[in-house]
Amino acid sequence: MPGIVEGKVAIVTGAGRGIGRAIALMLAQEGAKVVVNDVGAALDGSGNDIGPAQQVVDEIKKAGGEAVASTVSVGEPQNADMIVQAALDTFKRVDILVNNAGILRDKIFHRMSWSDWLDVITVHLHGSFSMSRACATHFREQNSGSMIHMTSTSGLIGNFGQANYMAAKMGIVGLSRGIALDMERFKIRSNAIAPFAWGRMISSIPTETEAEKERVARLQQMTPEKIAPLVVYLGSDKAEGISGQIFSVRNNEIFLFNQTRPIRSIHRADGWTPEKLDAQLKGAFAPSFTPLDRSGDVFSWDPI
């Protein structure tokens, strides 16, 4: 029986390890030909290693699939065209883009440097734009295509020490929505996923106390392989009509996030002054203010 993405060509960035690797493997298992892009950098973006991408390619080929490695960084705009061209040269087309590549430079805000900020924004947000833009022309010409972008509940909700990462991941939400609106007429879909998965980006959580050890044990149930099915589905023709949405996957749970809309309003026929705002704004709006929650405060129950 043919897979759900049989005959399609997919590009997966950051596909050498973790979530990206799991996505690339399942896309291949479901019949797609895959460009496995990964620069092989450390978690903070330093260094490079062609090994991880090639290992995933070898694994796909061993299982009878088709894949090619790409080891250039999505952080360099000109590389996006090179990555797409690798798909065209090898497989003659491109149908699915998964923007998964990312790095972390966690710092409490008053200690965050410009390079901590810029490097994270460059890989996550600029990289997602460059790859999406490079694919968009080809998707438009063939009147089809699906883009899946990785956001995070750190951006959608919040987390300590991640202002750079949060800004990048919320930027990706806007990018995905903008693509969905602009490209709908060409039957191109764009969606965002906030994944929960145990991997390099959360493996540094301390395990000094029993409570911390128990928490980590629960988090380790959330394997990267749990993210892949939704990505593959959204990349398939079966997901027609689903675009501009924000999903999340946590172990066996799949969530659909709401998107920002007005929730309360106040008005005065005679207009506002600072003094009038002081008299009314807090009383009217404070009950509806969004608290300074972190992701763990909102997702407070154990993964199912």
Single out the catalytic residue among 165, 196, 198, 247: 165
Strand partners, 69: 36
Cα 106–Cα 132–Cα 163 angle in degrees, nearest 5 = 20
Question: How far apart are alpha carbons 273 and 33 in whole angstroms?
Answer: 61
Strand partners, 254: 249
| CA 97 to each of CA 48, 241, 252, 254, 266: distance values in angstroms, whole numbers, following the listed order | 22, 17, 24, 21, 43
- Contact partners, residue 98, CB within 8 Å, separation at least 6: 10, 11, 12, 13, 15, 20, 23, 27, 147, 148, 150, 231, 235
**Is 233 assigned a catalytic role?**
no
Q: Is 45 exposed, middle or buried (0-12, 13-18, 19+ CB in 10 A)?
A: buried
Active site residues: 165
